[in-house]
Amino acid sequence: MLFKQKIIVKYHTPYNAAQLEQIKKSDWIDLRAAENVELAQGEFKYISLGVSMMLPKGYEAILAPRSSTFKNYGIIQANGIGIIDNEYAGEDDVWFFPALAMRDTEIPMFSKICQFRVQRRQPKISFCKGISGKPNRGGLGSTGI
């Protein structure tokens, strides 16, 4: 039996149409726009995702666009991916999607625009100067086409 982590969520939407749930087919959990959004090509906006969460100690969330987000809405996530650590946990620490519009677009409230997964935070690391002693792989892009 798998152990399930419990995450406390506060919803900031007028009603619970955007309840979070993890589906069996994926480790990623969809998030929805918590507002109606209109963007012109080249415009940037932090789109509210309508949730605040208290992640377990020692965990963080990775936020990324859904595979259909660009096709459906013409937006990309301005910072590539987002990292939300467990310290961003206040009731009003609302999660946002930093959207950059590549074309004029409209995103209706409660549209699925991104997804997240929870993972353990990286342990503290110290670096020491030296060489690995391993042979070179062949440079950038050397694993084949």
Q: Is 85 a catalytic residue?
A: yes
Maximum C-alpha span of the chain: 59
Q: Spot the catalytic one: 85, 92, 93, 104.
A: 85
CA distance 103 to 67: 17
Pairwise CA distance, residues 46 & 49, whole Å:
9
Q: Rounded CA gap, 97 and 45, in Å?
A: 8
Contacts of 102 (CB under 8 A, 6+ apart): 41, 70, 74, 75, 76
AA letter at 140: L
Q: What share of the chain is helix, strand, coil (3-state, %, to 5)?
A: 5, 35, 60
- Give the catalytic positions in this structure: 85
